[in-house]
Each structure stands twice: as structure tokens, then as C-alpha cells.
């Protein structure tokens, strides 16, 4: 029997029981729709994380001054006084895998402009900081190495600070007061958003020379950290090793002793997040595909009922010359058409869900054509697998008994 005629017969049988066919397909619809939506959700999360890490710079390394243990009291990172600017200069000089380094130290302070004030983080650093973090300016200029030398009172402000202190005015050229000291705003940073690793608002910040923070605010000589940029993403592991070597050497740390610093590699962080989101995507997809299997069992159930109901029809077809193969093909086609129709509707509903999720829930999605393809193939496979037994049962009927069946 030719394929088109077989499909036409299958469609007619399906149309005969519209409600039942819809309910039967529902399992596949939900399964395919869920797989597509869940994979889109997982991949959306993955892409977002990847983008944010790329925005942070995947070849960035973070060198922090270490934890310390003073009389049994363990303090968090940034409390040792051993990381100093000479270390940063040594990293710049002696590590070939490193392309840029910027010293960093921080504090928090109340910033006042006119009648407005705002409490924010202050990052004291060097001009390279913005290049390392791939963070362009929106307006104005960056501070210079000269400003660092002279510990100048200049500030580059983040977007959140701008919004809070300068809702209308142009901030560049204005003077703000920090701890009663006047600072000239020379630049405004572009919007960076919240960070993946810490989850805090990266735009709620003021940048200035590290020397200014050390001398005029903290009154200290040491640094809290250094931001490093490796020559490339691949070179970041080499850079990590070189930095560790240089710092251990300078700090005279021997084997059994703990480091008084740490190096965090963004490539590691990126890999870690990538793994996490991949696992999450697979988990979501496998939970969703359980409903595909449940849908397949639904099809098998209804096909078995259908074979019993249509015993007489099978008898007639056999009496007028249908072979076992013809009957088997007919019922198998019916099961596959049911599951493929469910698959098609499932794709539409999966895409609709993928369209709605970001708009209603605000979660990012990324539609995967691979997932759609796999869902379609899977739904055909479900039809064949769960349709085979009922079809076989139909084909094995004895025509005489089938004809006599009431």
C-alpha cells in the first residue's frame, strides 16, 4: 500500500475520535514542548553566564592578598599587609604571560554633591584597570599615571553613582566631596550590570588612583588586590603559575607554609559556570523527556483499545486481501502520525513557552535547533516503539474470528 494512502487512512482513523486523539497526543505535546522550553531555558542561562564572564574578560586573573590567622582568629582575604605596590611592579616586570596589571585597594565612603549624597564603594587602582576589565567610559576621560604619581583628587564614577548624584546634570567637571575632600569627576563609566560571581551591582562604584585611596583615605601602604590580564585566555593558566612563583619568591614563602595571597583565574570560573549550566540543562531536559515516555505509553494504551474496537475492520481488510504487513503498517502509521502530530504541536507550544518565559518571568532563553530536531526524532521513535506492539497484535488477528467479532 502506498505511503500517501496509508497516511490518509491513518488520518481518517485519528479524525474519527478527535477528542481521544487530542488527549492521546497531549502526552507527546507536553513532552516535546517541555523539552524544547527547558533546553531553551538552560541554554539561555548558559549564554547569559558566558556573556557576563566574557564581559568581565575571560583572561582576567584576580590576585588577592591572603587570609591571615592571628592568635587563632582567622580573618578574611584582604587583611594581610604583605601585598604592596612593588609586588605589582614585579608581576608586571617578571611574568611574560601577563599583559597588564593594575593595583587595587578599596574603601567605602559617603559622597556628597550639592544636596544629594550617596554611600558607595571606592576602588583605588591604576589606569589599566579599565582596559583589563574591558570597561569603556561613557563620557569624559580616565585618570592617568600622572594622577597616580601625584595622588590627585580625581574620580571616575559608575553609572549607579551618576544616577543617584546627578539625575539631571552632566557630572563631568563637577566637584563632589568624599570624606570632606573635594574630588573632580573626570569620567563616567558605561553600564556593566551586576556581576555573575558576586551578584553585586558593579556600577555602584567610584574609581580613583590607588595612591589617593592609600594616602588620603585609608592611610595605608598595602594593597588589597591586583587585577591582571593574561596575554590570552589560554595563557591565563601560565600567568597564574608565574604570578604565584613571583609572589612566593618575594614573600619568602617555603613549601609547608601557606600562601599569603591567592590567585583566582576567570577561565576556571568560566569553566565552572559552564559545567554547572550544562548539568542544569541536561537535568531539565531529562526530566522533561520523562513526559515523552509517559506520552508514548498513552499512545500504546489507546492503540491497543483501538485495535480491539476495530477488530471487525481488521477482519474485513484481511478478507479482501490485506496482508499482515499491510495491517501492521496501517496501525504503526497511525501511532506515528499521532506522535508526530503531537510533536509538531509540541514544537509550537515549546516555542511559545520559550517566547513567553523571558517576557513573563524575565528569565533568558536561547532556542536550540538541536533540541527541536532531537524532540522530533524522539517523538517519531516513541510512535514506532509504542505503536509496534499494538500493530503487531492487529496483524496477528485471525481473519475469521475478526470478521465474527461484534
Partner 1 sequence: MATMTSTPPVAFSEKETAVPIRVEDVHKYYELGDTRVHALRGISVEIAHGEFVAVMGASGSGKSTFMNILGCLDGPSSGKYLLEGTDVSLLNKRELAAIRNRKIGFVFQGFNLLSRTTALENAELPAIYARISEQERISRAKEALAMVGLADRAEHFPSQLSGGQQQRVAIARALVNRPAILLADEPTGNLDSRTSVEVMEIFQKLNEERGLTIVLVTHEHDIAQFAKRSIVFRDGKIRKDEAIVNRQLASEVLRTLPALED
Shortest approach of partner 1 to residue 319 CB, angstroms? 5
Residue with Cβ nearer partner 1 (81 or 312): 312
Are 317 and 327 spatial neighbours (Cβ–Cβ below 8 Å)? yes
Q: What angle do CA 328, 330, 335 make, to 5 degrees?
A: 95
Binder to partner 1 among 94, 139, 274, 313 (CB under 8 A)?
313
DSSP state of 215: I
Residue with Cβ nearer partner 1 (10 or 263): 10
**What DSSP element (H or E) covers 125?**
strand 116-125
Residue with Cβ nearer partner 1 (93 or 312): 312
Q: Among 290, 276, 295, which Cα is nearest to 341's?
A: 295
Can residue 319 be called a binding residue for partner 1 (CB under 8 A)?
Answer: yes
Can residue 324 be called a binding residue for partner 1 (CB under 8 A)?
Answer: yes
> CA separation (Å) from 301 to 86, 202, 320, 345, 390?
76, 56, 28, 21, 8
**Under DSSP, is residue 183 helix (H, G, I), strand (E, B) or coil?**
strand
Can residue 400 be called a binding residue for partner 1 (CB under 8 A)?
Answer: yes
Shortest approach of partner 1 to residue 23 CB, angstroms? 20
Per-residue contact string for residues 4-23; x = within reach of partner 1 by CB under 8 A = -x------x---x-------
Can residue 318 be called a binding residue for partner 1 (CB under 8 A)?
Answer: yes
- Chain positions 166 to 195 lying near partner 1, rule: CB under 8 A, are none
Residue with Cβ nearer partner 1 (133 or 329): 329
Ramachandran angles phi, psi of 189, nearest 5°: -80, 150
Q: Which stretch binds partner 1 (CB under 8 A): 68-76, 144-152, 352-360, 397-405?
A: 397-405
Per-residue contact string for residues 273-312; x = within reach of partner 1 by CB under 8 A = ---------------------------------------x
> CA separation (Å) from 406 to 69, 305, 321, 396?
89, 15, 21, 18
**What DSSP element (H or E) covers 282?**
helix 266-309
Question: Which residues form the interface with partner 1 (CB under 8 A)?
Answer: 1-2, 5, 12, 16, 312-313, 315-326, 399-400, 403
Amino acid at each position: 500500500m502506498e505511503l500517501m494512502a496509508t497516511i490518509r487512512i491513518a488520518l481518517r482513523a485519528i479524525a474519527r475520535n478527535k477528542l481521544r486523539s487530542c488527549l492521546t497526543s497531549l502526552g507527546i505535546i507536553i513532552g516535546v514542548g517541555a523539552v524544547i522550553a527547558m533546553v531553551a531555558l538552560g541554554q539561555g542561562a548558559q549564554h547569559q553566564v558566558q556573556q557576563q564572564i566574557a564581559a568581565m574578560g575571560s583572561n582576567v586573573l584576580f590576585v588577592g592578598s591572603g587570609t591571615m590567622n592571628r592568635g587563632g582568629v582567622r580573618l578574611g582575604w584582604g587583611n594581610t599587609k604583605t601585598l604592596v605596590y612593588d609586588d605589582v611592579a614585579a608581576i608586571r616586570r617578571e611574568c611574560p604571560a601577563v599583559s597588564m596589571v593594575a593595583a587595587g585597594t578599596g574603601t567605602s565612603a559617603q559622597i556628597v554633591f550639592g544636596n544629594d549624597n550617596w554611600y558607595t564603594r571606592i576602588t583605588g587602582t591604576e589606569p589599566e584597570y579599565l582596559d583589563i576589565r574591558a570597561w569603556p567610559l561613557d563620557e569624559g576621560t580616565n585618570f592617568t599615571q600622572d594622577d597616580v604619581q601625584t595622588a590627585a583628587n580625581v574620580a571616575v564614577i559608575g553609572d549607579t553613582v551618576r544616577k543617584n548624584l546627578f539625575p539631571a546634570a552632566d557630572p563631568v567637571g563637577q566637584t563632589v566631596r568624599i570624606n570632606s575632600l573635594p574630588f573632580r569627576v573626570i569620567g563616567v563609566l558605561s553600564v556593566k550590570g551586576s556581576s555573575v560571581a558576586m551578584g553585586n551591582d558593579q556600577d555602584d562604584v567610584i574609581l580613583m588612583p590607588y595612591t589617593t585611596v592609600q594616602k588620603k583615605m585609608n592611610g595605608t601602604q598595602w594593597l588589597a588586590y591586583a587585577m591582571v590580564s593574561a596575554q590570552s585566555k589560554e595563557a591565563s593558566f601560565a600567568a597564574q603559575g608565574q604570578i604565584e612563583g613571583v609572589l612566593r619568591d618575594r614573600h619568602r614563602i617555603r613549601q609547608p607554609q601557606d600562601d599569603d595571597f591567592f590567585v583566582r583565574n576567570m577561565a576556571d570560573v568560566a569553566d565552572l559556570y559552564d559545567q554547572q549550566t550544562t548539568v542544569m540543562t541536561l537535568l531539565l531536559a531529562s526530566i522533561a523527556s520523562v513526559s515523552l515516555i509517559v506520552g508514548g505509553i498513552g499512545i500504546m494504551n489507546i492503540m491497543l483499545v483501538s485495535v480491539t474496537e476495530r477488530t471487525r475492520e481488521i477482519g474485513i481488510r484481511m478478507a479482501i486481501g490485506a496482508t499482515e504487513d499491510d495491517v501492521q503498517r496501517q496501525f504503526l502509521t497511525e501511532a506515528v502520525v499521532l506522535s508526530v502530530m503531537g510533536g509538531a504541536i509540541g514544537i509550537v507550544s515549546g516555542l511559545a513557552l520559550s517566547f513567553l518565559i523571558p517576557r513573563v518571568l524575565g528569565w533568558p532563553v536561547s532556542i536550540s535547533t538541536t533540541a527541536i530536531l532531537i524532540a522530533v526524532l524522539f517523538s517519531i521513535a516513541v510512535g514506532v516503539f509504542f505503536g509496534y506492539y499494538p500493530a503487531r497484535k492487529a496483524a496477528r488477528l485471525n481473519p475469521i474470528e475478526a470478521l465474527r467479532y461484534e
